[in-house]
Amino acid sequence: MTTHKPVGLPDDVALKLLTDMVRIRRFEERCADLYGQMKIRGFLHLYIGEEAVAVGAVHALAAGDNIVATYREHGHALARGVSANAVMAEMYGKQEGCSRGRGGSMHIFDAATRLYGGNAIVGGGLPLAVGLALADRMQGSRRVTAVFFGEGAVAEGAFHESMNLAALWHLPVAFFCENNFYAMGTALVRSESQTDLCVKAAAFKVPAVRVDGMDVVAVHEAARVAVEQVRAQGGPCFVEFQTYRYRAHSMFDPDLYRNKDEVEEWKRRGPIHNLTGRLKAEGRLTEERFLEIDAAALREVESAVAFAEAGTWEPVEHLLHDVHTGGAP
């Protein structure tokens, strides 16, 4: 028997968090269908189960802040306000997609909302985030750069180099580690001698905190505190969000490395279920209202699918455009 944890957020914020988690869940469930129909090709990494992290953390940022994400970034894009139409069209490879169909699922970019990818080299976004923060520091901006990466990235040199640079130069980077415990099929305990990720951050004198990544309220609060601290003090912080992906690593993954009981155990802690239950217990959400939110999310997704279906292919004559600014030299 667990004691009830009060949500503690105003209705509009709590419902926004819930709505975005449902939007992402419905969007990605549809993506899985569309992959089966071969409308979406290539690699498709679903975020299902992890929605609380992107939603809670992204909503803790200001509109002018920077986001650097990984190849499992549909949720971050949708939470940030990139339209479902633009993301779905990108999945289809259509030129109406946010990256004109050049990037696909793993390379969602959106300059308008300061979303700097969609980086599919594990750890590759970390030095980039340090550089964005360095530019902000040198230009006198108060902007924060939030960089998302999985626990697998902490094995990369890029992680250690970036943490050191950000701490050494006192740069405004929020290091948001999405620990879903598996780097593709390799469990954290099978790849790291030190599995306490906060200890790694401490080695660089970066303040670190561990949060239940299945609880969007806890995520949002921890991210809000971290971002405020980074903005106020200038230096970096590290937050480990413990979470779990319900689906396989990608659509190619037979998921043979996890125990089914473990997956079911995490599903019982599901982020949408978690928040919905608490809001209902507090008398702030009815089943009817929840069904409305869900129905709206489904309508948004179907509208995005229609938009992507109606989208157009970039002319092959444009193949070399944007290799360089203004065309190939």
Backbone angles phi, psi at 143, to 5 degrees: -70, 150
- Does 329 engage in binding with another protein (CB under 8 A)? yes
Of residues 128-167, those binding another protein (CB under 8 A): 128-136, 138-139, 157-158, 161-162, 164-165
For another protein, which is the closer residue by CB, 21 or 130? Answer: 130
Q: How far is the CB of 175 from another protein (least distance, A)?
A: 13
Q: Are 165 and 171 in contact (CB under 8 A)?
A: yes
For another protein, which is the closer residue by CB, 100 or 231? Answer: 100
Q: How many CA atoms lie within 13 A of 244 on its CB side?
A: 17
The closest of 105, 43, 41, 103 to 73, measured between CA atoms, is 105
Q: How far is the CB of 154 from another protein (least distance, A)?
A: 14
Total residues at interface with another protein (CB under 8 A): 46
- Does 121 engage in binding with another protein (CB under 8 A)? yes
Give the per-residue SS3 of 63-78.
Answer: CCCEEEEECCCHHHHH
Other CB atoms within 10 A of residue 8 CB: 12
Amino acid at 109: F
Identify the residue among 39, 41, 100, 284 touching another protein (CB under 8 A): 100
- Does 82 engage in binding with another protein (CB under 8 A)? no
| 3-state secondary structure (DSSP) of residue 182 | strand
Binding mask 44-73 for another protein (x = CB under 8 A): ----------------------x-------
Give residues with Cβ within 8 angstroms of 229, minimum separation 6. Answer: 207, 237
For another protein, which is the closer residue by CB, 71 or 290? Answer: 71
Q: What is the distance between the alpha carbons of residues 85 and 252, in angstroms, rounded to a whole number?
A: 25
- The region of 33-41, 57-65, 71-79, 93-101 touching another protein under the rule CB under 8 A is 93-101
Residues at the site binding another protein, with contacts judged by CB under 8 A: 66, 97-103, 107, 109-111, 116-119, 121, 124, 126-136, 138-139, 157-158, 161-162, 164-165, 168, 321-326, 328-329
